[in-house]
Structure 1
Amino acid sequence: MASATFFILSLLFLHITLALANITINSTLYTNNNNNAWPSPSGEFAFGFHQLKDTNLFMVAIWYNKIPEKTIVWNSYSHSNPTPTGSKIQLTQSGLKLTTPNGESTWIAQTNNTVSYGSMLDNGNFVLASSDNNNNTLVWQSFKNRYFVAKPNS
């Protein structure tokens, strides 16, 4: 009984969290202005463009947002494949699309389902959801598509 109650409360929490942090279709982040991240409801985490130190290059990442050193917890590409200033990420019905200034497009997250919205959750997971028949279904999430920043050898 206790596990069923916990499960129901977890689903309710997820539903409320998703409702508070929805990112709508066609929302766009740009490297060259202040609109370069989607924060979680608490502001603890953020998803977006993270500028590489002392460069005009960026990576798509999730980081701790409330500490001075914006520590990355997930990224979509390695440091060897950064994106230049003038790039953008757009949430589409097919997923997350990255476009460079010269018009080259790549998918960060592409699904076979129609995406209804995205959310940066307070647990550090960025998700894409589909709303079919009043049901919210996660169709992509960063927790299942992990690319950690490598830690140096001690």
Structure 2
Amino acid sequence: MFLTKTPEILCSVGYDEKIDVWSAGVILYILLCGYEPFSDESDDDKVMFKKILNGAYEFHAPEWDEISESAKDLVRKMLVVDPAKRLSVNAAVNHPWIVGETKSTKELHDVTNKLRLFNSKRRLKTPMNAIAVVNAFKFGNHHLRNGSA
């Protein structure tokens, strides 16, 4: 699952409640634009893991064009690779965007549609992964059997 792909988990280091801030940042990103912050067209987990470890994500146009700077600020502060520099849970829930101290330039009107789009992409990915695993066993791709897929 995408939420378990955090820098702390990928590096096999200890973690605290700030891992939840990372996961909430991923969810917030998805809610605002409709896709994961570290995904790309290649659908290659190694590429995604490298992006996660480097904190490499973008606010792509046109999805992010009308999202407020305050919302982007919160996402930026939640998706910080170094947990020591990442927002605490308390700081995240008290961020101006959360408490409503800043006004968005436009209402968040597409959340439901963005979630539907995100879920439809996830549903499509699962059968495709299942087919790849079946083919790996069928045709003897040993690297897939050993869990490196």
TM-score range with shorter-chain normalisation?
under 0.3
Q: Larger Rg: 1 or 2?
A: 2
Select the structure with the greater relative contact order (CA < 8 A; seq sep ≥ 6): 2
Q: Normalized per residue, which structure has more helix?
A: 2
Q: Normalized per residue, which structure has more strand?
A: 1
